[in-house]
Chains A and B, each alone.
Chain A
């Protein structure tokens, strides 16, 4: 007969639902804490998502690496010619930009359906809602990990290793992770409630891609417009991770802007999440 498996730590001994502004934040905090306790589950889910997508293929998840490599190679040659730039100078920039932007855009499009795609789970068992967001962030971090190989290959090929400044990319990326979680929570909830959100967000992101120095170097904006760049949150955040890896320490304006936008994003995510957490199950 069944082994006496007791449901462990996750399930709190008491569960009270008292609806109202007073307990919303406590509930949201508990959601976050429970997600933290289930980190192994988040990780496994993210990993299985990737494994499943490539199960049965020869290269497996390294298809991600290969397709990014092809894209970087092709775009590198085309744009270096168009912008009349030195490939040795341009390719590391482009490889980093594309890998990082792909991370962002995949995260955003996954986030919009973050809750709706887990409908069956949400409706059959009580799980912390931030778990679904964490799964999406981790899945995309794993994809990013595969794409890092392209960057390493480009650096090795051109033997242009970044200096010691590269360490500064880590706090930048930590900021990305927290922002990613906040963004996924917001977009997941909005996307579940308003089904028009995903296409709107995707087209807005496309616009951001063109106005942000992703494939064109920030220097191209000219000296007069340089000060405008940090106003773009995408540029500021991108530069926090990309700059150090290109041996360029981001300016205080860039860091200030990235932090300010992040704090705004966290606050928005927290208040929205605390407000709608109890409604998500009805929306999916």
Chain B
């Protein structure tokens, strides 16, 4: 079955319940002015997504661009089924893997092997598949004997390799990816790049959120520019990137955000 993503008129409010609501309200207000409202029950809400519609089918490579807090990560989480929209409808057809959190569910007290087994179980793999997963991740992460020691004592590079190896081991039809995935240790980069490219090539649909313009330019065929929770522009990569970069008044910052050495060719 071919993968499909359908998003129709999705709006999502983020309720702020906890902490000192008033000071929190002030803090957030200064950051995303105009997007804080009170709902009917006078709760403070952030209007995280507003009236988002688009559809993707097999072969589509979508890039999400926009400033921090524009709603890119929230949109990815909504596509992944983590946040359920209040208004509108989302339908995702096909197996899905969301690379959102580098240490996704990794327990630092457990050994590398136990973490791999847990991830396998989270994905509903059977015993044989978990063994293959273990082999694959061990080989990629080059942990050696550390695999049977708690992750807590790993060097930061080892933790990154294990997390990356795990997250990229399971090949989905729909791949959602947040930008952190493109940052990392330089010596590890080449190997990671090959593995990631392999994963991206294998996916029918890619949705990538990034500040690294070269990556978006190389990987995406379509770009959505998010602004204050809304779609500001949607179209072919060149067109939307032109508008977005023209609008951005700090081209230096954009260039700096690009990860050197990571201009993949897919």
Which residues of chain A have a CB within 8 Å of any CB of chain B?
1-11, 13-19, 37-38, 40-41, 44-45, 48, 52, 55, 120-127, 193, 195, 278-279, 281-283
Contact = CB atoms under 8 A, between A and B. Distances in A.
B77 A14 contact: no
Given A2-B136, A2-B171, A55-B109, A17 B81 contact: yes
B127 to A, nearest CB: 9
B110 interface: yes
A231 B12 CA distance: 45
Contacts of B123: 5, 7-8, 10
Given A2-B199, A48-B110, A282-B15, A7 B82 contact: no
A16 B91 contact: yes
A193 B43 CA distance: 13
Given A1-B195, A2-B136, 11 more contacts: A2-B195, A5-B132, A5-B169, A6-B171, A8-B124, A9-B124, A11-B96, A17-B85, A17-B90, A48-B114, A120-B103
Nearest to B130: A5
A170 B133 CA distance: 39
Contacts of B133: 3, 5
Given A16-B89, A18-B89, A126-B81, A2 B122 contact: no
B42 interface: no
A31 to B, nearest CB: 12
B84 A281 contact: yes
Given A1-B195, A13-B94, A44 B86 contact: no
Given A2-B136, A7-B170, A124-B105, A19 B124 contact: no
B256 interface: no
Given A15-B81, A124-B100, A125-B82, A1 B194 contact: yes
Nearest to B16: A282
Please name the 6 residue pairs, one residue from A and one from B, whose CB atoms are nearest each other, closest first. Answer: A10-B124, A124-B101, A278-B84, A126-B81, A41-B121, A7-B95
A7 B172 contact: yes
Nearest to A277: B84
A52 to B, nearest CB: 5
Residue from A6, A13, A38, A282 having most chain B Cβ neighbours under 10 A: A282
Nearest to B84: A278
B126 interface: yes
Interface residues of B, number: 57
A281 B83 contact: yes
A218 to B, nearest CB: 43
Given A14-B92, A17-B85, A282-B15, A1 B80 contact: no
B101 A120 contact: yes
Given A4-B171, A8-B129, A282 B83 contact: yes
Contacts, number: 136
A55 B132 CA distance: 27
Interface string B64-95: 00000000000001001111111101111111
7 contacts: A3-B169, A5-B169, A13-B95, A19-B84, A38-B121, A122-B82, A283-B15
A19 B8 CA distance: 13
A120 B90 CA distance: 23
Contacts of B80: 125-126
B93 A19 contact: no
Nearest to A1: B198
Contacts of A52: 107, 109-110
A38 B117 CA distance: 13
A124 B119 CA distance: 13
B14 interface: yes
Contacts of A195: 18
A124 B109 contact: no
Interface string B169-195: 111100000000000000000000011
Contacts of A8: 123-126, 129
Contacts of B14: 282
B221 interface: no
B98 interface: yes
Nearest to B165: A2
B121 A48 contact: no
B104 interface: yes
Contacts of A45: 118
A55 B110 CA distance: 10
A5 B126 CA distance: 11
Contact of B82 (A38, A40, A279, A281): A281
B168 interface: yes
Nearest to A14: B93
A44 B117 contact: yes
